[in-house]
Amino acid sequence: MVWTTTGDLVTTEQILPPDPHLMESMRAVGYTLQTAVADLIDNSISASATMVDIFFGSSPYPYVALVDNGEGMSSGEAIDAMRLAGTSPLTKRNPNDLGRFGLGLKTASLSQCRDLVVVSKHEGALCGFEWNIDHMIAQQTWSLLVLAGDELKSLPRFNELADRTSGTLVIWRNLDRLTATVGDLSSSFDAAMTEVRSHLALVFHRFLAGEHGQRFEIRINRVAIQGSDPYLESNKATQLGPSESFSVAGEQIEVQPYTLPHLNRMTPLEKKRAQVAGRVRDSQGFYIYRELRLVIWGTWFRIAPKDDLGKLARVRVDIPNTLDHLWSLDIKKASAAPPPQIRDNLRRIAGRIVAPSRSVHLYRGRIVQEQSRTNPIWNVIDDRGNFRYEINRENPAVAALTDRMMPEDMTQMSTLLTLLESTFPVEDAYNRLGQDESHSPQQPSGPGLESLASALWKAYKASGGNPEQFVSAMASIEPFILTSSPKELLRKVVND
């Protein structure tokens, strides 16, 4: 404000650029090593790369480097790329462009290191630039270092780029954040790489499967990453629900529901793959893709509770980058809340989708109960909000033994049965099943079952029963129903 000669107060301007410490503050945006690396790969995909090589190295100093074979940047483009918000967030992006804010390259990189080098090759010409936080702070200005000649050649993995016709090399040096979280880099790089590998396998699984119509490969220290499909589509027992699409602000959103196979029908590897966000149960929900890139997963956005019965339900949602403004996307693109128009549609779809997951989950329990309704070995007793399991004294296998007992043995037997019932490790079972462990009980052995069957047959015959009635009655109850061919076993006993 200044006073004019007439005594009026008027507004003037003062240019107030940010202090270079801004870069230091921006490190706290909240990237992890894996989300930061993923942000660089977004850029490679936007630059039409078909191959991204990531290196974790320790010579001549610890570094992380990423080289792609994308279009690369001219010197002018690379300077724009180094500028914070060099592209406006409001610019319309190409459909394959995974960027939005013009920040990722800088903020993701400098969240992990204090020294970022970018070298690019475009139409045969090389250029290199460096943001070094300590240099900026020492100079008290936003001074971008321009690299040339031998400086470029001495950079780790420079040859990887020099050998390609075009592409970009990003190098992180002075890895202070990584040292702080994983300690000594030379020994902890492996653990860090494993986490990065599984994160990239998931978030880029559709690119790795070539769904964008191109070959695409990511390697870490030359080992290729296999995509990790969270719907286990290669398992025949995965069920696809009806796909649908709806339109929001003139753009199409595609929805594909899946119901995963029951846990007992997953291989150990598949189970691990299905445990995207902790346990399988925690990984239910929507999987939101922005231009095929997974950004959010394993949440129902508080539209529906994550109850145990929907644990096999996953819904793939494809959203174009033209709807970014509706999603209040954050800089890391890792959190976003669906706007009301999308939320209402997702709520409608969620209700319909959880139903099949629920029936897969209950299937096994119900079958056993229905087929052995006449006389299961265990009865579940509901008692006004409480429940307990009781051994069914009427089940022939139990009755065959107890019927022949002397009264004093009977008392002991009854005590034993009550003891078994009261100590049934129900909480342990609950915890284990909740931790995605599968229950695989030992089945009763052949000879034991045969002698039980023949004792039952003797008693049945003595009371005037006929063989076929016996076979069909016994074949449908526990324990015989639990064997693979109950009728065969029973007929053998009857014919002996």
* Cβ-contact 317, 254 below 8 angstroms: yes
**Which partner from the list ligand ATP, Mg ion, none does 63 bind, CB cut-off 5 to 8 Å by kind?**
none
Kindly indicate which of the ranges 63-71, 153-161, 261-269, 417-425 contains the residues binding ligand ATP, using the contact rule CB under 6 A: 63-71
> At CA 105, angle to CA 183 and CA 204, rounded to 5?
80
Please choose, out of 42-50, 235-243, 284-292, 326-334, the segment that lies near Mg ion by the rule CB under 5 A. 42-50
Q: What is residue 333's DSSP assignment?
A: S
Q: 426 Cβ partners below 8 Å, 6+ apart?
A: 389
Beta bridge partners of 388: 381
- Min dist CB 250 to ligand ATP, Å, is 23
Between 102 and 298, CB nearer to ligand ATP: 102
CB atoms within 10 A of CB 36: 24
Q: For residue 493, with 0-12 CB atoms within 10 Å meaning exposed, 13-18 middle and 19 or more buried, which class applies?
A: buried
**Contacts with Mg ion: how many residues (CB under 5 A)?**
4
How near is the Cβ of 73 to ligand ATP at its closest, in Å?
Answer: 5
User: In this complex, which beta carbon is closest to Mg ion, that of residue 170 or of residue 255?
Assistant: 170
> Can you point out the beta strands (E) in 133-233?
145-147, 167-173, 217-220, 223-224
Name residues contacting ligand ATP, limited to 29-58 (CB under 6 A).
39, 42-44, 47
Q: Which does 100 bind (CB under 5 to 8 A by kind): Mg ion, ligand ATP, none?
A: ligand ATP
Contacted by 68, from Mg ion, ligand ATP, none: CB < 5 to 8 Å by type: ligand ATP
**Does position 168 bind ligand ATP by CB under 6 A?**
yes
Minimum gap (Å) between residue 68 Cβ and ligand ATP: 5
Per-residue binding string, Mg ion, 90-129, x by CB under 5 A, is ---------x----x-------------------------
Please, what is the minimum distance in Å from the beta carbon of residue 112 to ligand ATP?
14
Query: Which of 87, 179, 341, 483 forms a contact with ligand ATP (CB under 6 A)?
Result: 87
Smallest gap from residue 431 Cβ to Mg ion (A): 43
Residue with nearest beta carbon to Mg ion = 104
Q: Within 95-154, which residues bind ligand ATP (CB under 6 A)?
A: 99-106
In the sheet with 63-68, reading across from the earlier edge strand, the strands are 145-147, 125-132, 115-122, 167-173, 63-68, 51-57, 217-220, 223-224
Task: Please give the backbone phi and psi of residue 353, each rounded to the nearest 5 degrees, phi first.
Answer: -85, -35
Name the residue nearer to ligand ATP (CB basis): 73 or 133: 73
Instruction: Give whole-number Cα distances, 146 to 105, 132, 175, 426, in Å.
Output: 17, 11, 21, 67
Q: Which of 32, 43, 69, 112 binds Mg ion (CB under 5 A)?
A: 43
Least Å from the CB of residue 87 to ligand ATP: 4
| Neighbouring-strand partners of residue 244 | 255
Size of the site for ligand ATP (CB under 6 A): 22
Residue with smaller CB distance to ligand ATP, 33 or 304 = 33
| Least Å from the CB of residue 109 to ligand ATP | 9
**Contact string (CB under 6 A) for ligand ATP, positions 67-86, x = contact:** -x-xxxx-------x----x
Distance, in Å, from the CA atom of 493 to the CA atom of 451, rounded to the nearest integer, reads 8
Residue 102: name its binding partner from ligand ATP, Mg ion, none (Cβ under 5 to 8 Å by kind): ligand ATP
Half-sphere exposure of 366 (CA within 13 A, CB side): 6
Q: Which is nearer to Mg ion, 323 or 449 (CB)?
A: 323
Residues 6 or more apart whose CB falls under 8 angstroms from that of 42 comprise 98, 99, 104, 293
**How far is the C-alpha of 259 from the C-alpha of 312, rounded, in Å?**
5
Tell me how far apart the alpha carbons of residues 276 and 94 are, in angstroms, rounded to a whole number: 30
CA distances from 386 to 20, 369, 382, 427, 476 (A): 64, 19, 6, 14, 29
List contacts with ligand ATP (CB under 6 A): 39, 42-44, 47, 68, 70-73, 81, 86-87, 99-106, 168
List contacts with Mg ion (CB under 5 A): 42-43, 99, 104
